[in-house]
Structure formats: C-alpha cells, structure tokens
Structure 1
Amino acid sequence: MASQRLKRTMRGALTASAIITMVSATAAPAIAQPPAQNNESEALQKFRELSAKSELVNEEYNKATDDKAAKQAELDKATSDLAAANQAKTTAAATENQYRGQVESLSFASLRGARFNKLSALLTGTSTQDFLDRSSALGVLAADNAKALSELHNAVTTATEAEARTADAQNRATEARNAASKLQAEINTRRQELHKQIKVAEAEYKKLSQAEKDKLRSGGASADNGQYLGPPGAANTAMQAALSRRGDPYKWSGMSPGAFDCSGLMMWSYGQAGIRLPRSSRAQYTVGRAVSRDALQHGDLLFFGGSAGSIHHVAMYVGDGKMVHAPNTGDVVKVVPLGGGGSDYFGAKRVVG
C-alpha cells in the first residue's frame, strides 16, 4: 500500500512538473539574442553595439535629408506652376476685358439703331442692289457679334480655369513649404541625435586596444585586394569605382573619396557611372528591380534590415559571393563575404539592366 501511495505521489509530482514546464514555455516566448562573442572584450562588443545603433541613426538622418530634397523639389515645381498660373490668369483677364468691350460696343450700337432686320432693309431700300448691300452689312454685324460673344465665353472659361490652377498651385506650394520646414526640424533633431551617438561611440573606440582596433578593421581576415570584373556597362563602372575606394575610412554621412558611410559609397560609385542614386539606403532600395539572392550580378545593391522601412545598411555585390561596403566607425571600405553585412540580409536591387 505504501509502495502504491509513493508511486501515485511521484506520478503526481512529475505531472505537475510537466504542466509547469509547458506553461512556462507558453508564457515566455523565446527572444532572439545576438550570438555571443566570447573571444571579444566587453569594450569591443559594446563598441560594435554602439556603432550599429549610430549607423541606424545615420541612415535615418540620410532618409530625412532625402525626404527634404524631395519636398524642396515639389516646392520648386509648385512655385513655378504658381508663377505660370498667375501669368495665364493675367492674360486671360486681359482677353476677357477685350471681348467684353467688343460685346458692349455692339450692344450699344444695336440700341442706337445700327441693327436692322432684312425686312426693314427691303422696305427702305431704293433698289435691289441697295437691299443686297444693307443685308450684307447686317450679316457682317451679326457675325461679328456672334464671334465676340463666343470669344468672350472662351475668355471667361479660360480665366476661370486659370484662377483654379492658381489656387491649386498656391495650395501645393504652401503644403510643400510646410512639409519642408517640418522635415528640416526632423533633420536637426536627427543630426543632434547622431552627433550624440558619434561621441559615445568614439569614446568607446578610444578604449579599445590596438589589437582590437586592428581586428575591427580587418574583420579577422587579411584585406581582400583582388580584382573583380563584370560585363562592360554602368554596373561594372560603379563596381570598379567602389572597389577603387578600398581602404577609405568609414565616416558618418561621408559621401566622397577619403570618407564614406555605406549609402554614401553606393551613391558616389553609381555617380561615376552617370547614375544618380538617393542619399539614404532606404531610399536607394526604391531604385531598380528586385533580384533574388541566387541571381545576383556584379553591381547589384544588397540591403540589410528587418523591413524596407528599417533598412540600416547597403553594400554592392562584386561576384564570387562577396560584396564591397563601408562597414562602420573604425573600419574601412573593404570586400567581405555576403554575410559580412549582418545576419539580417533583406534583399537586393539591380540598378541597371
């Protein structure tokens, strides 16, 4: 009996334990954690985290700059349209006044007796020829009046349309101006946040040993200075331009030889091929056509981030499963395997072809 009670007690305990385990597993979903890097110091790991955060803020700043440029273009067009609409409005008003004057003159002439009907011309005419002459004059007068009325109607319609275009252009200009001002305020906020992140990251970078700085720059491997060739064309020209900047240091908001951030390198490189790209990696993702990872070609842009709205890094495919990019602070433009851009590869775009 005691043995049976003991077995029942043990079964009850095991069942309760299993239930607790199942409830715990259901109530606490697993959260993805970054892979541990036991061979790196705490300072280096902290710097990597700060650098990644700063890169995200940098791309948000670049995106705001892109948006501001787009709104400024809208404002410029709306302002131009407004000037043209005002000119059309002035011209239409002058035309309306011209034909309104003609109609008023013809109406006044009619009131004074200048208008006769053909019966009165027949009764008062002294001869058949006189009748024909008077009838002809009456026909011309009637035609002139009809033409003047038609032109007046057209002028009034044109003036009304010009007025509407002017109002529309004025509204668009006002909206674009307000949006540009709002984006400028956002840019200022992003710039302040970026400068703050830069200072923190730079402070952590100074704490690194020379060996850690060398490891950060090399990625744990020797520099890849090999040649990569694609088919002749704009994509290869852009790729060669990017490869020519190997060794240039990373710099937040950098976009010219000597210092680049990730999207700045892409924009400059394609610029050498005569193709203008937007400033930020998120805006660059809107260019070209999507290509699958197994169909990559030289010059394709590679994007990293959880979604199109959270892209934080961009690189360029150079062939052989490798890419060229500007990684982050303390590093340089270099060629690395595709995984070197991060574990959150999002997609690729082909700019030309």
Structure 2
Amino acid sequence: MSLLKKLIATVIVSFVLTTSLFAGSADASSVNANQLVASAKSVMGVKYRSGGTTAAGFDCSGYVTYVFKKQGINLPRTSGGMYATGKAVAKSNLQVGDLVFFNTSGKGVSHVGIYIGNNKFAHSSSSKGVSVSSINDPYYWGKRYIGAKRVTGVSVAKK
C-alpha cells in the first residue's frame, strides 16, 4: 500500500472514530438543565469508588458521564477529556448544566462536577461521595477552581 493510501485510510478511520464518539448525542433542544439537575440529584449520597461509573459507586468523571448519559449525551470518560470538549465559560456566566473543573492534585484538571446554580455544583468527592458543594468554598473548592465548559446538548430550561 502506498504512503498516500495509508495516509488517506488513517484520516478516514480517525474521522469515523471521532464522529462516532458523539453519535447518538442529544440535540440542544432535547435536554434541559432542570432534567439534568434532577438526574444529578437522583443519586445523591452514592459512595465514592475509584473508577466507578455506576450507582454502586462513582468517581467524579464516572458520575458526570453517568448523569449526562441518562440524558442521551455522551462525554469523554475522564475529567481531562471533558475539559478538552465543549465551549469555555467564564465563572461569571455559568449556567445550570455547565461542567466545572478543579485542580485537586496539583497537576492540572483532576476533578469535575456539574454546575447546578447558586454557585453550587454536584459531584462525587472521595470524602463524601455524590454531594453538593460551593464552587467558592474558601477552604477547598474555591482555591482549586480552574474553569468551566458548556457542553453541546444542554439547554437552559425555558420558564
């Protein structure tokens, strides 16, 4: 096989794999933020489990992927992968359903949660499991906040 044919084949395979990651994702009009928050709150209290992706136990990104998947939105499995998707949002412009990111390890993005309004986010923490915390907590989360992303497929609920 010639080098050109290999290059073309590689580009085609990459395109198919990339687009398949988002196949079946909900469109922006089908999921509203209130539904997302209800889904996020439905598993409050579930214990933390490293690598966990089910209601038997969640890590932070497992929890977020679980909640979004319930709404028909597929996300990357890791907090770093999630941080690489979506549109950056200023802290002052956060909307319910935005992903919020924190540096808890000293090595960049290492924690993710779902913004639920009023400066609060739902997440799975290693100490409390699935719970709600303040993004501005001066003792922990406020110091570790990195940024936020808005994911395609979530719309703010119409009143």
**Superposition pairs of residues 309-320 of structure 1, within 5 angstroms:** 310-320=108-118
Correspondence for 2:146: 346
**Superposition pairs of residues 22-33 of structure 1, within 5 angstroms:** none
The Cα shift of 1:286 comes to 1.6
Correspondence for 2:52: 254
Say whether residues 1:302 and 2:100 are aligned partners.
Answer: yes
Say whether residues 1:241 and 2:18 are aligned partners.
Answer: no
Which residue, 142, 152, 168 being the options, matches 2:6? 168
Gaps of 5+ in 2: 15-29
Could you tell me how far apart the structure 2 residues matched to 1:293 and 1:281 are? 18
1:234–1:286 CA distance, 2 compared to 1 (3 A): farther
**Superposition pairs of residues 161-240 of structure 1, within 5 angstroms:** 163-164=1-2, 167-168=5-6, 172=10, 233-240=31-38
- How many residues of Structure 1 are paired with residues of Structure 2 in the alignment? 131
Q: Percent identity?
A: 34
Amino acid at match of 2:62: G
Could you tell me how far apart the structure 2 residues matched to 1:164 and 1:266 are? 44
Could you tell me how far apart the structure 2 residues matched to 1:275 and 1:256 are? 16
Amino acid at match of 1:316: I
Which residue, 320, 326, 332 being the options, matches 2:129? 332
Amino acid at match of 1:261: D
Which residue, 70, 87, 96 being the options, matches 1:272? 70
| Root-mean-square deviation over aligned CA pairs | 2.8
Scaled by the length of structure 2, the TM-score of the pair is 0.71
Scaled by the length of structure 1, the TM-score of the pair is 0.34
The Cα shift of 1:235 comes to 3.3
Greater radius of gyration (CA) = 1
Amino acid at match of 1:334: S
Gaps of 5+ in 1: 1-162, 177-231
Which secondary structure state, in structure 1, belongs to the residue aligned with residue 129 of structure 2?
A: coil
Could you tell me how far apart the structure 1 residues matched to 2:55 and 2:131 are? 14
Could you tell me how far apart the structure 1 residues matched to 2:116 and 2:94 are? 9
Say whether residues 1:287 and 2:85 are aligned partners.
Answer: yes
More helix by share: 1
Which secondary structure state, in structure 1, belongs to the residue aligned with residue 113 of structure 2?
A: strand
8 Å CA contact retained: 1:234, 1:273: no
The Cα shift of 1:295 comes to 1.0
8 Å CA contact retained: 1:250, 1:260: yes
The Cα shift of 1:337 comes to 1.3
8 Å CA contact retained: 1:315, 1:341: no
